[in-house]
A and B are shown apart, each in its own frame.
Chain A
């Protein structure tokens, strides 16, 4: 909750600090002389402020707002001057440091790469000694980076090296204690190196509010605990956006985890979980209880309906025809397009008959969509048989005309 209003809290806090500071400055300015007399530029600052304070107190009528706010403004003005210099130096410093860091890290990376290659292709014992002295963060990064690219015996060697260097303890500690954006990297590493011991640590992260960590933890649990891989779908309260689905799908394809029966999740209260299940049924062409999918054609959420229609279309569920025809007129235009695709699975004559019955009460733009998405033969028949209102034909501009 606090996280959401972080910016506003930060803003109010800094304003509050500024007001506090300005109270001190006010006292300082009211004095004629003060105990740090002698530093020329501070004196200078003090004298100007002092002058203005006196001046404004004589003209309270004319400039009452300025008189009231002057200490605040003066404080922020001084701060601003320092700020400009500070920011400029800070930027330069960051540049300088990042150039140095870049040189350092690329040298370290090269060294790490060479030692790793020595381990994989050369003298293992000598390499081990060197490996122990390297920066572990870079080591983890490099090893995971390579692990993502390869399979086979070299990948197994890499994994056993990972354990031999006790990097599993290192990343478990890091998952527990580092800042949230670093956790992401280490959870990812745990997934790729199959650190099953980390599962207990990662498991609760599947349900946190931070979307980035939630996603990566869910993905990690698929590889780390194949038995209960998708149990989070049963209890997930947060939505599962398409982006997460993409990542989950990718890791399902890459890992050899058995794919669960997604029909079990079609009755979930969480709409996005239903969507996920529909997508996975479609992509893995899972067969199951088709009635469950047909029931979703009349779901309350249009996006669920759309995806159910896609599944029907891809899995060629012929039993759905009647339901689709029944709901056709009530649908949104985008779903109607999907319905047109579903209907084209059927025999041409039957579809034609259906369009004929609904043609008159269909809006022109829906008709256009129908014409756009059906196959050419059917389109021609439909255009020949059905009368069109005036002006309708004009909106279809034929290119060779």
Chain B
């Protein structure tokens, strides 16, 4: 009796999941095409010289980045925008990050009073450049407090109505601010409170002067898996959620926010590892409670290139942290679950995230264990098992191919035959190798969460990233 229920229930759940993913994929496709076509002739340069374009502060927290910081700041200074400032927050680095910046950009300490609207760790000094070419640069030196704390310090210094939070080591394309700012200026009936851009994998790409000069598919397999994964989640998932207005996350690597709302909500939460997701959820929750109609928008343009972990150890740490961050946010805001008061966020976004990001790996892990048990007691029907296995496998392969197709339809960053040759094998291997591993990491993340590890982990505590190796640019 139990196995009958079990068989049919599992099949029903699997089919439901597939249907939901398919629906999201179709919505994404329609959205992507519209975005692409509507913006083909858009005059983004009009914003560059317009007095109506809003001021933007770019906040880049840095922690022990001595090797790459100069290159990164120079990359940031090539952003095309007319009314922006860069705030680099040195989060109590233990190496010579601050000294290097001071020397390279000839900074001097400015004596200005700091009005902290959001409480942070004490600030030791604010620096500005003596060189006029870098007049837009401000450096804040503060006591170590983690990425969220550093971003909060940056928000306190900022004088513009919008700010962009970035990872200092990711490469931002020059027109990123223009593209990110446009949704804020295009909606009138709803208030846009945050926008995010698509993150792409920068491993093995040729980077010069802080800009991607030539796109390549990474040499390492672990990074290649993540290309497909990122394409799928950004082009097929988040695009659709943006349309449905159910987004729960804007990636910490690049996201633009309405400062007023962020300050009202109290800024980033420095007690969680998933501060990027927690902020969005808290902002949206606050706005729903205030009865303000709002949107979180995703821009499908590839605006940010970031180095992803290319070995198992750092991949595991990253995934472990993501899982804990997810769970933290979901638990803090558990009131949202299927709560009609919170509109699309409560009825669609939160439950999806809960089931698909938190429960799905657990359920899948359970499924694997049960399957092995069934095989051992030989209670499994081999034919049915094989058929379902083949079906699920083919489905996920074709889904990955669709992700590559979407990239091809819209921005075709992987434009050489060489790239495609390297990419085409990955979807076939991914469900066999990479996916089960991810499930394993997620389960490990759950375990370490319930053991009480809610920090960045003892090894990488207060660090921003899981990169163990220094990057060469």
A-side residues, CB < 8 A to B, are 6-8, 10-11, 14, 52, 55, 59, 61-66, 69, 73, 76-77, 80-81, 83-84, 87-88, 90-92, 94-95, 98, 180-181, 184-185, 188, 211-212, 216, 239-243, 245-247, 249-250, 271-272, 279, 283, 333-334, 365, 368-369, 371-372, 395-400
Is the Cβ of B37 less than 8 Å from the Cβ of A368?
A: no
Once the chains bind, are B8 and A91 in contact (CB under 8 Å)? no
Taking CB atoms, residues of chain B closer than 8 Å to A94 are 408
Q: Mark B7-23, 1 if CB is under 8 A from A, else 0.
A: 11001100100000011
Chain A proximity of B67: nearest CB distance (Å): 29
Given contacts A10-B30, A11-B26, A188-B41, contact A65 B11 (CB under 8 A): yes
Q: Quick check: is B113 within 8 A (CB to CB) of the other chain?
A: yes
Asked whether, in the complex, the Cβ of A80 is within 8 Å of the Cβ of B398, the reply is yes
Nearest CB in chain A: distance from B364 CB, A: 19
Interface segment among B55-63, B72-80, B115-123, B204-212: the answer is B115-123
| CB < 8 Å neighbour of B29 from A7, A239, A245, A400 | A7
Q: Is there contact, CB below 8 Å, between A239 and B383?
A: no
A77 near B394 with CB under 8 A, answer yes
Interface residue from A10, A65, A395 paired with B26 (Cβ < 8 Å):
A10
User: Which of A7, A55, A64, A372 is B115 in contact with, Cβ under 8 Å?
Assistant: A372
Task: Give the residues in chain B near A73, CB-CB below 8 Å.
Answer: 387, 391
Q: Report the separation of the CA atoms of residues A76 and B394 in the bound assembly, to the nearest whole angstrom.
A: 10
- Asked if B398 contacts A247 (CB within 8 A), the reply is no
Is the Cβ of B123 less than 8 Å from the Cβ of A242?
Answer: no
CB-contact partner of B402 in A11, A87, A212, under 8 A = A87
Selected contact of A242 from candidates B22, B185, B387, B420, CB within 8 Å: B185
Chain A residues with Cβ under 8 A from B31's Cβ? 7
Complex Cα distance, B4 from A180, in Å, reads: 54
- For B189, give the chain A residue with the smallest CB separation: A239
Asked whether A399 lies within 8 Å of B125 as measured between CB atoms, the reply is yes
B29 to chain A: which residues have CB within 8 Å? Answer: 7
- Are A283 and B186 in contact (CB-based, < 8 A)? no
User: Are B52 and A7 within 8 A (Cβ)?
Assistant: no
If A211-B186, A283-B51 touch, whether A77 touches B390 (CB-CB below 8 Å) is yes
Q: In the bound complex, do residue B38 and residue A246 qualify as a contact, i.e. CB atoms below 8 Å apart?
A: no
User: Are the CB atoms of A246 and B26 closer together than 8 Å?
Assistant: no
* Interface assignment of B415: CB less than 8 Å from any CB of chain A: yes
Chain A contacts for B420, CB-based, 8 A:
91-92, 95
Q: Check A247/B46 contact, CB under 8 A, given A11-B22, A87-B398.
A: yes
B7 close to A63 (CB less than 8 A): yes
In the complex where A63-B8, A395-B116 touch, is A180 in contact with B37 (Cβ < 8 A)? yes
Pick 28 A–B contacts, CB within 8 A, sort by A: A7-B23, A8-B27, A11-B26, A52-B387, A62-B7, A63-B7, A63-B8, A63-B381, A64-B8, A65-B8, A77-B391, A80-B395, A80-B397, A87-B398, A92-B417, A98-B412, A181-B37, A185-B40, A211-B186, A241-B185, A279-B52, A283-B51, A365-B117, A395-B116, A396-B115, A398-B114, A399-B111, A400-B111
B397 CB contacts on chain A under 8 angstroms: 80, 84
CB neighbours (8 Å) of B424 from chain A are 88
Question: Bound state CA distance, A75 and B236, in angstroms?
Answer: 24
Please give the residue numbers on chain B whose beta carbons come within 8 Å of chain A beta carbons, in ascending order. Answer: 3-4, 7-8, 11-12, 15, 22-23, 26-27, 29-31, 37-38, 40-43, 46-47, 49-53, 109, 111-117, 119, 122-123, 125-126, 161, 182, 184-189, 243, 260, 381, 383-384, 387-388, 390-391, 394-395, 397-398, 401-402, 404-405, 408, 412, 415-417, 420, 424, 427
Residue of B30, B161, B184 near A6 (CB, 8 A) is B30
The CA-CA distance from A80 to B401 in the complex, in Å, is: 11
Docked-complex contact A245 and B111, CB < 8 angstroms: no
Looking at A180, A247, A369, the one whose CB has the most chain B CB atoms below 10 A away is A247
Tell me which of A181, A333, A399 contacts B114 (CB under 8 A): A399
- In the complex, which of the residues A91, A92, A365 has the most CB atoms of chain B within 10 Å of its own CB atom? A91
Contacts of A92 in B (CB 8 A): 417, 420
**How long is the Cα–Cα vector from A14 to B412 in the complex, in angstroms?**
26
Name the contact of B52 in the complex, choosing from A52, A181, A211, A246 (C-beta under 8 A): A246
Q: A310 to chain B: closest CB distance in Å?
A: 11
Do A243 and B122 touch across chains, with their CB atoms under 8 A apart?
A: no
Q: Which residue from chain B places its CB closest to the CB of A14 in the assembled complex?
A: B26
Q: Is the CB of B188 within 8 A of A241?
A: yes
For residue A34, give the distance in angstroms from its CB to the closest CB of chain B: 21
Q: Which of B3, B26, B185, B404 contacts A7 (CB 8 A)?
A: B26
Residues of B within 8 A of A240 (CB): 188
* Chain B residues, Cβ within 8 Å of A88: 401, 424
Looking at A180, A250, A283, the one whose CB has the most chain B CB atoms below 10 A away is: A250
A55:B189 contact, CB within 8 angstroms: no
Chain B residue contacts of A63, Cβ below 8 A: 7-8, 381, 384
Which residues of chain B are within 8 angstroms of A62 by Cβ–Cβ distance?
Answer: 3-4, 7, 381
Chain B residues within 8 Å of A7, by CB: 23, 26-27, 29-31, 243
Report the minimal beta-carbon distance from A171 to chain B, rounded to whole angstroms. Answer: 14
- A89 to B75 CA separation, bound complex (whole angstroms): 38
How close is B244's CB to chain A, nearest CB, in angstroms? 10
Considering the chains assembled together, what is the distance between the CA atoms of A84 and B395 in angstroms? Answer: 9
Please measure, in the bound complex, the distance between the C-alpha atom of A52 and the C-alpha atom of B3, giving whole angstroms. 20
The answer to whether B401 touches A84 (Cβ under 8 A) is yes
The residue on A at minimum CB distance from B51 is A283
Give Cα A216 to B4, complex, Å. Answer: 61
Do the beta carbons of B383 and A52 come within 8 Å of each other?
A: yes
Please, which residue of chain A has its CB at the minimum distance from the CB of B264? A333
A250 near B401: Cβ-Cβ < 8 Å:
no
Q: Closest Cβ of chain B: how far from A39's Cβ, in Å?
A: 22
By CB atoms of chain B within 10 A, which of A61, A90, A240 has the most? A90
Question: Which residues of chain A have C-beta atoms less than 8 A from B26's C-beta?
Answer: 7-8, 10-11, 14
User: Does the CB pair B27–A91 fall under 8 Å?
Assistant: no
Nearest B residue to A187 by beta-carbon distance? B41
B41 touches A334 (CB 8 A): no
Q: From residue A112, how far is it (CB to closest CB) to chain B in Å? A: 19
A242 and B115 within 8 A (CB): no
Closest Cβ neighbor of B405 among chain A residues = A87
Q: Are A246 and B53 in contact (CB under 8 A)?
A: yes
Contact check, A61 vs B123: say whether CB atoms are below 8 A apart: no
Specify which chain A residues have a CB less than 8 angstroms from the CB of B23 in the assembled complex.
7-8, 11
Q: CB < 8 Å: which of A64, A184, A185, A398 contacts B113?
A: A398
| Complex CA–CA separation, A239 to B190 (angstroms) | 11
Q: Nearest chain A CB to B188's CB is how many angstroms away?
A: 4
Q: Give chain B nearest CB distance to A86 CB in angstroms.
A: 9
Which residue on A lies nearest to B159, using beta carbons?
Answer: A372
B366 to chain A, nearest CB (A): 19
Q: Are B126 and A399 in contact (CB under 8 A)?
A: yes
Whether the pair A69, B3 counts as a contact (CB closer than 8 A) is no
How many angstroms between the C-alpha atoms of A65 and B52 in the bound complex? 60
Residues of A within 8 A of B189 (CB): 239
Give bound CA distance, A247 to B52, whole Å. Answer: 10
- In order of increasing CB-CB distance, the 6 nearest A-B pairs are A181-B37, A239-B188, A242-B185, A7-B27, A243-B185, A7-B30
Name the CB-closest residue of B to A372: B115
Complex contacts, A65 vs chain B, CB 8 Å: 7-8, 11-12
Note all chain A residues with C-beta closer than 8 A to B11: 65-66, 69
User: Given the known A-B contacts A64-B8, A246-B47, A334-B260, are A181 and B123 also in contact in the complex, defined by CB atoms under 8 Å?
Assistant: no
Contact of A249 with B12 in the complex, beta carbons under 8 Å: no
* A87–B423 CA distance with the chains assembled, in angstroms: 13
Chain A hits for B185, CB < 8 A: 241-243, 246
Q: Are A212 and B38 in contact (CB under 8 A)?
A: yes
**B395 contacts across to A, CB distance below 8 A:** 80
Q: In whole angstroms, how far apart are the Cα atoms of A7 and B33 in the complex?
A: 11
Q: Which of A69, A77, A247, A399 has the most CB of B within 10 A?
A: A399
Please determine whether B401 and A87 come into contact, CB atoms closer than 8 angstroms.
yes
Q: How far is the CA of A10 from the CA of B26 in the complex (A)?
A: 8
- Collect the chain A residues with CB atoms within 8 Å of residue B391's CB: 73, 76-77
**Nearest Cβ on chain A to B406's Cβ, whole angstroms:** 10
